[in-house]
Amino acid sequence: MEYGFIFSNVTLIGTVSVSEDGDGNITGVFLPSSNLPPMEVCETEAISEAFGQIDEYLSGKRRNFDLPLDYGVSGFHRTVLEEVERIPYGEIRRYKDIAEAIGNPLAYRSVGTACGLNPLPIVIPCHRVVPSSGGIGNYSGGTSLKRRLLDHERSMC
């Protein structure tokens, strides 16, 4: 069993689960149909706050998250996630844009991989990153959810 806690709630996009490390830092957001890690089930104060902010985001009342996060990654992957966090609500960036912004313009495929491994989807808005070739690209929650999140943000702007 992993250290920390996990709890699930029904949201506007289905059942979402949130985990935290036992010290109040959010470590994961698991979208509907995700496999959950073996953790103690408990709705902690940090998890409750995360669900409150996720619900506010999904209902159009929140554009940015203010949660203590534990990314669980370092180096290139962390740099990518930190850059993705800077994408304004309702806007999109290409994987190439993220690679250029972090000073590694040829690493756009690695940026895609880092986005795909994002442990905190929605909170770290990797749904706002799309391929240069057109379309919306892949998403850990599925392309229909990615489209839904992008459409949701556009409708709120």
Q: Which of 8, 2, 3, 54 is nearest to 33 (CA)?
A: 8
Sign of the Cα torsion 37, 10, 14, 157 reads negative
Cβ atoms < 10 Å from Cβ of 117: 14
The kind and range of the H/E element at 53 are: helix 45-58
Q: Which two tokens stand for residue 111?
A: 């940026």
Tell me the C-alpha distance between 61 and 36, whole Å. Answer: 28
Quick check: helix, strand or coil at residue 94? strand
Backbone angles phi, psi at 7, to 5 degrees: -150, 150
Residue 42 known to be catalytic: no
Active-site pick, 42, 115, 126, 157? 126
Q: Which residues are marked as active site?
A: 126
